[in-house]
Amino acid sequence: MKRNAPYYLLVLVLLALDQTAKAVIVRSLGHYGSIQVIPGFFSLSRVHNKGAIFGMFNRMDGPLITVLLTVASLVALVMVVVYFFKTPSSEKWMKISLAFILGGALGNLTDRIVRGYVVDFLEFSVGRYRWPTFNVADSCISLGAVLLIVVFLVRRPSHVSHPD
C-alpha cells in the first residue's frame, strides 16, 4: 500500500488539476464563450461535451446515451484499476502511465456524473484546420496512453520460452 502512495498522490493531483481548470473555465466563460490566447492558434473555448472522446456521439442527446457512456467509462476505469493493482510497484513507468490514465478518466467521469456532460476548453487551430476541443483530463489520458505504449515497446521480455 505504501509503495503505491506516490501513484495515488499523482492520480489525486491530476484529478484536482483537471477539476480546478474546469471550475475556472465554467466561472469565467459562458457556454460557447471563447478567449483567444494566441490568435490563429490557441483559444480557451467552453464546450459541453455530452459524447465521448473528441465529441463522438455528442449530437446524440438524451439520458440513454449519457447512461451508456457513463457505464462504458466505469467499465474502462475498473479495467485500468485492476491492471494498476496487478502491476508490481517495481514497474515505475507502467504505474505512472496508468496513474495518468486514471487521473484523466476520473476527471471526465466526475464531470459526466455531476454535470451530465464533460467540460472541454482547450482549442487549437492552424488556419482553417481545428483540433477538437479537449481538456486537462483528455491530455492526461492521452499522455498516459502514449507512455504506456512506450513502456510496452521498450520493455524487455522477462522470461521468453522457446518451444522445442
Look up residue 82 and give its three cell numbers.
485492476
Burial tier of 85 (Cβ tally within 10 Å: 0-12, 13-18, 19+): exposed
Candidate list 18, 61, 111, 120, residue with the active-site label: 120
Task: Choose, from 61, 111, 138, 164, the residue flagged as catalytic.
Answer: 138
Contact 103, 10 (CB under 8 A): yes
Residue 138 bears catalytic tag: yes
Q: What is the DSSP letter of 4?
A: G
**Residue 18 annotated among the catalytic residues of the structure:** no
Helix, strand, or coil here: 93? Answer: helix
Positions marked active-site? 120, 138
